[in-house]
A and B are shown apart, each in its own frame.
Chain A
Amino acid sequence: GAVVSQHPSRVICKSGTSVKIECRSLDFQATTMFWYRQFPKQSLMLMATSNEGSKATYEQGVEKDKFLINHASLTLSTLTVTSAHPEDSSFYICSAIRGRNTEAFFGQGTRLTVV
């Protein structure tokens, strides 16, 4: 299957700083990328949907000024957690699709710990 690479896999940052997470589709062009957050023993919660070259669509309750998403090319999307706080500590996962109704490929996830 296709490969989606997410980096970093693990990051610890201080409260008040910003963290950028990258999501790359390595062997296909992704028309759409998705960002999720997952807390322990819970399901994935969709944060935003991102199409290349356009602004991301955020889910209700997700602060777009806090979770900045950039999808500048068909192979790269980034999520920046700005002014991180301990409650932002979570497992962040990206996924990408090649087109409508195709299967999604997921990154390995990023474990963010804010201290």
Chain B
Amino acid sequence: DAKTTQPNSMESNEEEPVHLPCNHSTISGTDYIHWYRQLPSQGPEYVIHGLTSNVNNRMASLAIAEDRKSSTLILHRATLRDAAVYYCIHSRGNDMRFGAGTRLTVKP
């Protein structure tokens, strides 16, 4: 099984950056690192994914450690709408198994 380890919960203040860590020590060379987030009673939403290099998109940045055993999702300025459960997955091709995720609370 692909397994990741994330903090159960984190808090952030609105307008401040948030760094969400993920450990994926069992990652193999061809696994991509994916991040998704889920609001209550909704399906998850894609945030970002990458293989080795750091990645940026309009939602977030993904910093991948050199040994690829960990990564950090960076929300540059948290808003109240960013409050969600964030899931980190390392995927072996068509394998998309979720861990427990991190519940992010954003305080106004």
Interface size on B, residues (CB 8 A): 24
Q: Contacts A93-B44, A95-B43, A107-B43 given: A43-B96 contact, CB under 8 Å?
A: no
Inter-chain CB contacts under 8 Å: number: 61
Establish whether residues B43 and A103, one from each chain, have CB atoms under 8 Å apart when the complex forms.
no
Report chain B residues within 8 Å CB of A49: 94-96
B98 touches A46 (CB 8 A): yes
Contact (Cβ within 8 A) B96 A100: no
Chain A residues touching B, majority SS = strand
Q: Type the 1/0 row for B37-65, where 1 means its CB is closer than 8 Å to any CB of A.
A: 01001111110010100000000000000
Residue A111 at the B interface, CB < 8 A? yes
B34 at the interface (CB under 8 A from A): yes
Q: Which residues of A in the span 69-98 have a Cβ within 8 Å of any Cβ on B?
A: 91, 93-95, 97
Residue of A nearest to B32 (CB): A101
Q: Is the CB of A44 within 8 A of B98?
A: yes
Chain B, range 11-54, C-beta contacts under 8 Å to A: 30, 32, 34, 36, 38, 41-46, 49, 51
Q: Is the beta-carbon distance between A43 and B94 smaller than 8 angstroms?
A: no
Q: Are A43 and B87 in contact (CB under 8 A)?
A: yes
How many Å from the CB of A65 to the closest CB on chain B? 23
Q: How far is the CA of A111 from the CA of B42 in the complex (A)?
A: 10
Contact B46 A104 (CB under 8 A): yes
> Is there an interface contact between A103 and B94, defined as CB atoms closer than 8 Å?
no
Listed in ascending order, the chain A residues whose CB lies under 8 Å from chain B are 1, 4, 6, 31-32, 34, 36, 43-46, 49, 51, 91, 93-95, 97, 100-101, 103-109, 111
